[in-house]
Amino acid sequence: MPATVHIIARFLAKQGKDEELKVVLSALIPPSRREIGCYQYDLLRNPADLRDFCFVERWENEGALEQHAATAHVKTAIAQARELVETPPDIRRYQIL
């Protein structure tokens, strides 16, 4: 049985771009949660640094995650976020031991 994939994806907005980035990232939530194989898709914001955003995701398997990455809403958000972030997103994959 394929292992559930957990994703932690951190985004750090450029100075003064945090609200714009919030809009771009928030737009991903409804369509992503409707995808087959999505068990969790939450956007978090660090109250100590409002430029710091993090997605916590849980996918049924690698295939579901790959399908998610290929969607139009993800591709659009990545293109829009490029100009709003300080560094490329830090996206990490985890599996339960």
Q: pLDDT by residue (tens digit) across 10-34?
A: 999 999 999 999 999 999 999 999 9
Q: Which CATH number characterizes residue 42's domain?
A: 3.30.70.100
Q: Structural domain tally of the chain? A: 1
pLDDT band of residue 60 (cuts 50, 70, 90) is: very high
92: pLDDT strictly greater than 60: yes
Q: Nearest 5 degrees, angle CA 60-CA 69-CA 45?
A: 85
42: pLDDT strictly greater than 60: yes
Of the candidates 43, 23, 22, 21, the residue with the CA atom closest to the CA atom of residue 32 = 43
Of the candidates 80, 92, 97, 94, the residue with the CA atom closest to the CA atom of residue 17 = 80
Torsion angle of alpha carbons 47, 53, 32, 41, nearest 10°? -60
For residues 5 and 63, what is the distance between their CA atoms, to the nearest angstrom?
A: 10
Torsion angle of alpha carbons 85, 22, 11, 33, nearest 10°? -140
SS3 assignment, position 77: helix
pLDDT band of residue 2 (cuts 50, 70, 90) is: low
71: pLDDT strictly greater than 90: yes
Query: What residues make up the domain containing 40?
Result: 5-94
